[in-house]
Structure formats: structure tokens, C-alpha cells
Amino acid sequence: MSNSTAIFQADAVSKMFGDLWAVDRVTLGIPRGEIYGLVGPSGSGKTTLIRMLCGLALPTGGTAKLLGSSMPSERRAVEHRFGYMPQERAVYRDLSIAENLLFFGQIYGMSRARIAERTRELLDLMKLSDRGKQRADRLSGGEKQRLSLACSLLHEPEALLLDEPTIGLDPSLRREFWDHFHQLNAAGRTILLTTHYLNEAEWCDRVGLMQQGRMIAEGTPDDLKAEATTRSGQARPDMEEVFLILTQESVAGGVS
């Protein structure tokens, strides 16, 4: 899977916490223009994998590359070109919406005029127009999440790493988020995201299924369904069934 044009690339990357392999020799290549979804139970290593790819965690073994740069050693070369949305809401509670965007724009070297322009655009997009002066801790969960996404998009990154961007959102809001993702994707952005919602996996170009730090299956949603049918004989499984079949297979496969 070593693809020289890959936006996100992992080669047998591993991360050990204490005596636990949080990520165990994962290899991954995501070409430009793809929406790639990492799914798997909590604690399966999705967040750690994303953190290694954006340079927040040092791999114990293997290499993680973002836009062709080794992370974290060469992160300076690409730090302006990617956006990261952490699992926590990651906005300043005691700042207003506009002030949050101002700060995250300033640290990327954007001019105040440009930040104001982008703020208008993004607040329109996120249906937060005229709310700029509202403090983040007065926002609902969904609004806070929209602000968090806006903060990650502000500096117009070409690569996006979104950790559980839709967690805790109601179904209609999740739909809206996915509309944003598809719009961003259509505008040329490459997106790597994690999700708990298996129906969302259907909306990705490709899906990686993780369990206990390992990548146990990977492919388009249709590939995974076919794989599940082969293994279990069940015709036309939905994503939830695919997940159950493939993860059980892996546990039953007995590699502890």
C-alpha cells in the first residue's frame, strides 16, 4: 500500500502504552480526494492512529506520513496544510465563537481581514450566523461541535483528520455534517475520520475496521459486505452486521 501520492500514509506503524500495543503494525494509504472512515470499538486504537498521523504521538515503531512528511519529525513542513478536530470539543469555553475563530486563525498567520471573511463563510455554512458574539459555553452540544469543525476548517487545509466528528449528534445534524464532508471532499479535500456510527461507514469511499490495535479489514463498504457474506454466508448484511461478523471472526481467529 506504499503509495507515493498518499495524503495519509502509515507503514507498519505501532504505538505502545505501558505494555499494551494501542496500535499494532497498521499499514494504511489514503490517496488524495478520498473520504476514509476508521471504525472499530472504543479502545481499538483509532484515536492513537490519528494522533500519530498528525504528529501528536510518537510512533513506537514504523512510520506515519502526512502529505509526504514523516510525523512528527518533519511536521513543520506541512503544519499549515492539514486540519485536526480532536475528540474533545476543543474550543475555548470562555471565548465567544468569533474569538475562538480569531485565535485559531491568528496562530496560522491569517490576517484579521481574512479571518473575518472566513468566519462569515463558516458561520453561514454551520448555521451559526449572527451568533458570533455568543460564548462557547452557552452553546448546545451540536453547536459546539459545529464550532469545533469550523475551527479545524478555518485555515483551508487540504487534509482533514476528524476524530469522532459526529459523536453525540442527533441523526439530522449528523446528516448535515456529512453533507459538509462531501462538499469539502468535492472541493478537493482528503478526509480521514473516525466514527462509532456504522451507518456512517456506508458514506465513506473506503473503510478501515480496527480491533485491538490492528487493522482487521479494509476496503470499500461493498468490499466489506462481500467479505462478510463470504465468511458468514449471510446475504446482504448491513454495516452493523458486517462489523459484528468481521470482529467476531477476528477474535475467534485467536490472536489474543
Partner 1 sequence: MKLYRMGAVTERVLRQLWHDRRVLVFMLMLPAIAMLLFGYSFSGDITDVRVAFIDEDGTDLTESILESLQEDEAFNVTVLESVDDPERLLLEEGYQAVIRIPDKFTSLYYAHFAMGVATSAQGTIDLTIDESDPQVAATIRMGLADAMMDLGEGGPVEVETRELYGVEVRFIDSFAPAIMGFVVSLISIVLTLLSIVREKVDGTFSRIWVSPVRRAEFILGYVIAFGLIALVQSLVVLTIGKTVFDIVINGSIFWAFGCTILFAVGSVGLGTLLSALAQTESQAIIFFPLVILPSVLLSGMMWPIQAIPRLLRPLTYVVPLTYSNRLMRAVMVKGLAPWQEPVGFIGVLVFVILTIALASVVLRQSAGERE
Tell me the closest approach of the beta carbon of residue 246 to partner 1, in angstroms: 30
DSSP summary character for residue 134:
S
Q: Which stretch binds partner 1 (CB under 8 A): 80-88, 117-125, 185-193, 243-251?
A: 80-88
The mark string for 30-69 relative to partner 1 (x by CB under 8 A, - otherwise) is ---------------------x--xxxxx-----------
Question: Based on CB atoms, which residue is closest to partner 1, 148 or 195?
Answer: 148
Judged by CB under 8 A, which stretch of 101-109, 190-198, 203-211, 234-242 contacts partner 1?
A: 101-109
* Beta-ladder partners of 206: 36
Whole-angstrom distance between the N-terminal and C-terminal Cα of the chain?
26
Residue 73 engages partner 1 in binding (rule: CB under 8 A):
yes
Query: Cβ of residue 213: shortest distance to partner 1, in angstroms?
Result: 18
Q: Does 80 engage in binding with partner 1 (CB under 8 A)?
A: yes
Q: Which residues lie closer than 8 Å to 210 by C-beta, 6 or more apart? A: 26, 38, 39, 40, 44, 45, 46, 49, 216
Characterise 160 by phi-psi region: left (phi > 0), alpha (psi -120 to 50), beta (else).
Answer: beta
The three grid cell numbers given for residue 207, joined into one nine-digit string: 473503510
Residue 80 CB coordination number (10 Å): 13
The CA distances from residue 84 to 22, 51, 67, 144, 152, in Å, are 20, 9, 14, 16, 6
Q: With binding defined as CB under 8 A, does residue 226 bind partner 1?
A: no
Q: Which is nearer to partner 1, 166 or 247 (CB)?
A: 166
CA distance 14 to 134: 42
| Count of residues interacting with partner 1 (CB under 8 A) | 35
**Cell numbers of 2, please?**
506504499
Binding of partner 1 by 91 (CB under 8 A): yes
Q: Which stretch binds partner 1 (CB under 8 A): 78-86, 170-178, 184-192, 217-225?
A: 78-86
Report 122-161 residues binding partner 1 (CB under 8 A): 135, 151-152
CA gap 161, 194 in Å, rounded: 9
Rounded Cα gap, residues 179 and 173, in angstroms: 10
Q: Which residues of this protein are in contact with partner 1, per CB under 8 A?
A: 51, 54-58, 72-73, 75-76, 79-80, 82, 84, 86-96, 99, 103-104, 106-109, 135, 151-152
